[in-house]
């Protein structure tokens, strides 16, 4: 991909993210509800970074980019909505369990919703993988596998580097 195309892709991604962030702020919501507004920006930045690195690592053509980016953005938005609700359900489950003598029917309902949300996220991931497989050449598919491994290792390392700054996680109450 040439430099002009890469700049166009970067501009398009930035525009989409700023539009989504502006829309979320207009509705009075942060993009990462459990994490506050900062968490939303972190998620947006990670999504943008992933798309930009993906474009470079796979050497996507303009045509591929124009097909792949809208699809990935749509999937990411749907996953984000699911993850927001799941975060809310998990927080509610924690609250109920911590209160003592929790109502089993309510717990069962929350557990069911959380598991259903996890299943839907897995379905979206599989849908995304199948779509990319149809759009990419075998060489790009190989590069994608390596890209995924390297990108998520980089994220794990970044999180590990931050842990000493944040301190240890609070233990779960029994």
Q: What is the DSSP string of 71-82?
A: HHHHHHHHHHHH
Name residue, tokens 């509800």: 33
Mention every residue, 6+ apart, whose C-beta is less than 8 A from residue 71.
Answer: 128, 131
Name the band, by pLDDT with cuts 50, 70 and 90, for residue 126: very high
How many Å apart are CA 81 and CA 33, to the nearest integer?
A: 10
Q: What dihedral angle (degrees, nearest 10) is formed by the CA atoms of 120, 125, 126, 128?
A: 120
CA 139, distance to chain mean position in Å, is 25
In the prediction, which pLDDT does 137 show? 95
Name residue, tokens 């979320």: 24
List pLDDT tens digits, range 73-102.
999 889 989 999 999 999 999 999 998 887
List pLDDT tens digits, range 13-39.
444 444 444 444 334 444 344 445 566
Domain coordinates in residue numbering, the chain: 3-166
With a cut of 80, say whether residue 108 has pLDDT above it.
yes
């Amino acid at each position: 991909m040439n430099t002009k195309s890469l700049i166009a892709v970067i501009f398009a991604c930035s525009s989409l993210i700023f539009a989504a962030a502006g829309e979320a702020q207009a509705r009075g919501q942060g993009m990462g509800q459990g994490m506050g507004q900062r968490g939303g920006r972190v998620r947006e930045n990670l999504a943008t970074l992933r798309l930009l690195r993906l474009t470079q690592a796979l050497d996507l053509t303009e045509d591929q980019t124009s097909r792949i980016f809208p699809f990935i953005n749509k999937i990411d938005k749907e996953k984000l909505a699911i993850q927001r609700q799941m975060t809310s359900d998990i927080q509610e489950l924690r609250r109920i369990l911590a209160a003592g003598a929790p109502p089993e029917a309510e717990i069962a309902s929350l557990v069911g919703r959380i598991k259903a949300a996890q299943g839907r996220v897995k379905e979206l991931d599989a849908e995304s993988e199948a779509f990319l497989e149809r759009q990419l050449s075998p060489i790009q598919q190989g590069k994608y596998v390596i890209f995924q491994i390297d990108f998520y290792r980089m994220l794990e390392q970044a999180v590990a580097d931050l842990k000493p700054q944040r301190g240890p996680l609070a233990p779960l109450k029994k």
